[in-house]
Structure 1
């Protein structure tokens, strides 16, 4: 706001800069699409390490090429991945269990509990219910334990009434990563463990001998001995404490630890406030559903401890893994955002990896998926890493098989051959894997250390963890594959396995394309996306010389920074790039139509693919 002078003196104003900076975008966030052990279907999830992948998607599996690809990605320098779990249509089933209720108007179904995602992993979930809440006569607590991943969740003070603020469906489904629930009635589910009958206003006679049983093991003890236990309990809460102490004093059953870890909780009206009213819940210390603390004998029945017996935990079962996705499943639906189309809602994805394609027997299926993936990559400025088919067992097979990829000769993809051999972490044996996951890690490492304009190949592009290659190529064999646009992986003495090719699928010599090289294509994508985002502020600005000047300043400053870092060839900025935005690019007709045209040109540095050293032998002596 301009200053309005009102007295003689010097006025100081701070003016905003007219230069708008263009921020750089990411270059190596990699998307992995395919089958995983668990995880939400067709939903892109960002992970920042393999431990994060294990928590969200279940880690490695012999059936999941994606899991191994992600492991190799982070092992080779990758930092951020986006994973989309895809399964065969109609396959897979979520594990579940239905909890019953006998607390209200007779026995009925109360709560359906299902694993959050389909898969066998859900069979390892255990659910516990107790009534130890502030409103013990109305609400319940729900605890979830993943025995395979050791994850735990606790939801307290839940209600079966939809009008309640703590309605179970609302609270659990919004906050749980393990389960989802459906309330089936107005009654809360029965608690876990042995549940007693409700006591009256007075406690029963406690001078009784109780017999408890776990499996085939029985233990006998006196519930209350005045000589050793002191004064008899006067409330249900005190009775619970006494019974818990007596149970834990018993020797455990062979192979079980239920007695020593037994828990007894008082609940119900009057249980926490004192007096004789309430119930007792007895839970075994083990999470094994077979470990039940059962009270046997007439005295136990008279005391009210044998009314009903629930398992100490409610196990989920029936989970089934989905089948491996086929070509249609991977391609997905653009309308439903499934398969690779789920990436349309994700920003900052730069590389796409489809490791399951290499296992397809039909090359036509591979080409079909690659074609759909390339269309997505062209729209979203993503580069696709294509694994050579697993059937290419020699250089001759690769030369013959590359003809099938003629319909997908595009600059947004690169094909790599052969497969790599690593020690399988699951078996400890040497096994072959498609290389795309490790390659994506090399891309990320190269971008971080040198820049996106540096070819992700050469002696710095070492494949970490790789023991060998399925095909050991010679110089002569590579000389036949490289002109066809096939990027080769090589084994060299001392340095080991390296990426030794940097051509796009459009990089065959016969095509003579200006987008032959991977770093040139990726640098252009990087500049395009950075300028697209960096010039968003231009929309709805007055379309005149002042705006054009600001555009030129902002874009030139961004490109000059890349030039100083070695992204462009030339010795001066004039030789490296240009930005034109003026009356020549934007005519009066364009202005009338609300259009401003910006012309940007760059001179990328192409990789030194062939290094020729000429040596001449000279006769005679050199002058000093």
Structure 2
């Protein structure tokens, strides 16, 4: 209450309504795995992985679907194919945590100066991170084109350029905003600037223009293209590093840039990059998953392609995904893949795989999906059809289901966009074996296409049997958690308890109205208790407010049964 010390009329604002809870998003996904290129965000100082809202975004940051090169051999780029399937199946928001293969290399840098300059005067061009794909017709991972532009002008206009701008008079170079004096007796000079174009096997991937060769320039080469760019966008999208030695003068920087250039254009090929001598380790997956914990909007996690590596990595990654989803206040579910080529019961079998895992925060899908190979159109040596893990498409279906119906509806009986066939057809009798174990089958149904035909978690706890129940409770928990932070440190008494009850009840009432809860009335659909019956004096003395919430969640109609019998023509009823 404010103090009233002098007689007057006081007008105050007050609130007559309870706080509101806004439902959190449930369709943002995160993938972990190897990509063709892109940032590896593993340290706190690294840029946060960018939010991708289309496959074009994915290509801009992480490259296309071209095969990786592991130990000198082509390896399918499963994460890129999964990202494509995610967006094709209705996904709208995706994060990617990139992992490098064992002994992955960016390749040695190239010194742009001629001769043997001192270390402090070197200009070194190198790849920012490992990338193994080669540009057609070469051994280069990246082609970097450096262009010097000379704009004719007058001395008067040249002096108005930003500090650090290079001005060319004859063969002499001067720098605006320094002690240099532009001695253009005939008033004729040229303003110098630089642009850089970077290409990988898919074509142009990064371009920067208006660059300067002096440290005072607002777009100094080292500030834009260096190891720690000032712009987070440059750090995420630029696959190369141009390091300018601190001892190099502007004239020396220019000489290094245009060394071997023709008509102001210089092309540099960066070679020696490798995706690795083997797959990543389980520790790499653990570290990458930890980097995603700060992204609070993520609600689905998967590791497409991890199941394609040799044992025991797939089992270890499954456990890492489960542990990540089970982390306190993570509010996530893990979508797991089976390894390729598994049979139902004959070892190695999907049934034996399931016997090793049990969690109410994960769902397992079988078998792999057959799609059209996007590389076959340009490479005749590629097969026209390829098999891919189902997690990418399934995560997209989760997102599509959430947007079109709601997180409370089971993400099943949904078509798999892009699927042409299955690596193995699952028959009805085989699903009778797999479904009770919590293995969700993807089946080709006559006249109905290829559909996700299962909605169970891998939990042995019957209370958490269904994916939609698990995800809906995660949604409720996260929404209530984030929507009631205002209550922390408020006086723990009747007024606060009533406010909390009203806040949560209003939120659940909206859920019931939207069809997410079972019951013909709010009393049947949910209850909220926050009073002396839920807290003891010991709780109050220790600063605890305890609110008990119960909801009647809707379970899916997994088995639809029609009982049909005979009747006579004159029978009534």
Q: List per-residue Cα deviations over 1:71-109 (Å, max 9, x = no partner).
A: 00000100000111101244221563212168x999995
For 1:419 and 1:17, the matched residues in 2 are separated by: 56
Structure 1 residue ranges without an equivalent (≥5) = 196-280, 288-311, 333-337
| Compared CA separation, residues 107 and 559, structure 1 to 2 (3 A) | closer
Look up the SS of the partner of 1:345 in the other structure. coil
For 2:412 and 2:357, the matched residues in 1 are separated by: 23
In the alignment, is the contact (CA less than 8 A) between 2:109 and 2:125 conserved in 1? yes
Residue 157 (1) aligns with residue 176 (2): no
Question: Pairwise mapping of residues 180-191 of structure 1 onto structure 2 (< 5 A)?
Answer: 180-184=241-245, 185-187=247-249, 188-189=252-253, 190=255
For 2:394 and 2:117, the matched residues in 1 are separated by: 63
Look up the SS of the partner of 2:96 in the other structure. strand
1:321 aligns with one of 268, 275, 278:
275
Residue 116 (1) aligns with residue 156 (2): no
Q: CA deviation at 1:170?
A: 3.2
1:69 aligns with one of 75, 79, 82:
82
Q: CA deviation at 1:155?
A: 4.3
Q: CA deviation at 1:391?
A: 3.2
| Compared CA separation, residues 95 and 571, structure 1 to 2 (3 A) | farther
Q: CA deviation at 1:183?
A: 2.4
In the alignment, is the contact (CA less than 8 A) between 2:103 and 2:278 conserved in 1? no
Structure 2 residue ranges without an equivalent (≥5) = 43-48, 68-75, 134-140, 152-164, 176-191, 378-383
Mean CA deviation greater in 72-81 or 480-489: 480-489
Residue 372 (1) aligns with residue 320 (2): yes
2:340 aligns with one of 367, 385, 390:
390
Q: Which has the larger radius of gyration?
A: 1
For 2:347 and 2:400, the matched residues in 1 are separated by: 28
| Compared CA separation, residues 585 and 158, structure 1 to 2 (3 A) | farther
In the alignment, is the contact (CA less than 8 A) between 1:129 and 1:191 conserved in 2? no
| Compared CA separation, residues 316 and 41, structure 1 to 2 (3 A) | same
1:348 aligns with one of 279, 297, 320:
297
Structure 1's consecutive aligned runs of 4 or more residues displaced over 6 angstroms after TM superposition are 1-8, 104-108, 163-166
For 1:123 and 1:540, the matched residues in 2 are separated by: 56
Residue 435 (1) aligns with residue 399 (2): no
| Compared CA separation, residues 99 and 481, structure 1 to 2 (3 A) | same
1:170 aligns with one of 212, 223, 230:
223
Q: CA deviation at 1:370?
A: 1.2
For 1:106 and 1:401, the matched residues in 2 are separated by: 61
> Which residue in 2 is equivalent to 1:220?
none
Question: Pairwise mapping of residues 469-618 of structure 1 onto structure 2 (< 5 A)?
Answer: 469-506=422-459, 511-618=460-567
| Compared CA separation, residues 524 and 106, structure 1 to 2 (3 A) | closer
Question: Pairwise mapping of residues 85-484 of structure 1 onto structure 2 (< 5 A)?
Answer: 85-94=98-107, 96-100=109-113, 109-120=121-132, 122-129=141-148, 133-136=165-168, 137-138=173-174, 141-148=193-200, 149-150=203-204, 151-159=206-214, 168-172=221-225, 173-175=229-231, 176=234, 177-178=237-238, 179-184=240-245, 185-187=247-249, 188-189=252-253, 190=255, 283=263, 312-322=266-276, 325-332=279-286, 338-362=287-311, 364-379=312-327, 380-392=330-342, 394-397=343-346, 400-428=349-377, 429-458=384-413, 461-484=414-437
In the alignment, is the contact (CA less than 8 A) between 1:545 and 1:582 conserved in 2? yes
Q: CA deviation at 1:377?
A: 0.4
Look up the SS of the partner of 2:476 in the other structure. helix
In the alignment, is the contact (CA less than 8 A) between 2:530 and 2:547 conserved in 1? yes
Look up the SS of the partner of 1:74 in the other structure. helix
For 1:180 and 1:382, the matched residues in 2 are separated by: 36
For 1:182 and 1:29, the matched residues in 2 are separated by: 37
Q: List per-residue Cα deviations over 1:193-240 (Å, max 9, x = no partner).
A: 589xxxxxxxxxxxxxxxxxxxxxxxxxxxxxxxxxxxxxxxxxxxxx
| Compared CA separation, residues 100 and 483, structure 1 to 2 (3 A) | same
For 1:486 and 1:366, the matched residues in 2 are separated by: 16
Aligned positions, number: 495
Q: Which TM-score applies when normalising by structure 1? A: 0.73
For 2:442 and 2:318, the matched residues in 1 are separated by: 21
Q: List per-residue Cα deviations over 1:141-184 (Å, max 9, x = no partner).
A: 44211234323112423315xx8876543343324342333222
In the alignment, is the contact (CA less than 8 A) between 2:100 and 2:130 conserved in 1? no
Q: List per-residue Cα deviations over 1:123-158 (Å, max 9, x = no partner).
A: 222334567644442556442112343231124233
In the alignment, is the contact (CA less than 8 A) between 1:34 and 1:325 conserved in 2? no
In the alignment, is the contact (CA less than 8 A) between 2:107 and 2:270 conserved in 1? no
> Which residue in 2 is equivalent to 1:304?
none
Q: CA deviation at 1:622?
A: 4.4
Q: List per-residue Cα deviations over 1:316-349 (Å, max 9, x = no partner).
A: 33333345543424433xxxxx322211121111
Look up the SS of the partner of 2:321 in the other structure. helix
Q: CA deviation at 1:2?
A: 7.2
In the alignment, is the contact (CA less than 8 A) between 2:212 and 2:220 conserved in 1? no
| Compared CA separation, residues 164 and 67, structure 1 to 2 (3 A) | closer
In the alignment, is the contact (CA less than 8 A) between 1:472 and 1:491 conserved in 2? yes
For 1:319 and 1:530, the matched residues in 2 are separated by: 45
> Which residue in 1 is equivalent to 2:26?
27
Look up the SS of the partner of 2:112 in the other structure. strand
In the alignment, is the contact (CA less than 8 A) between 1:327 and 1:366 conserved in 2? no
| Compared CA separation, residues 167 and 77, structure 1 to 2 (3 A) | closer
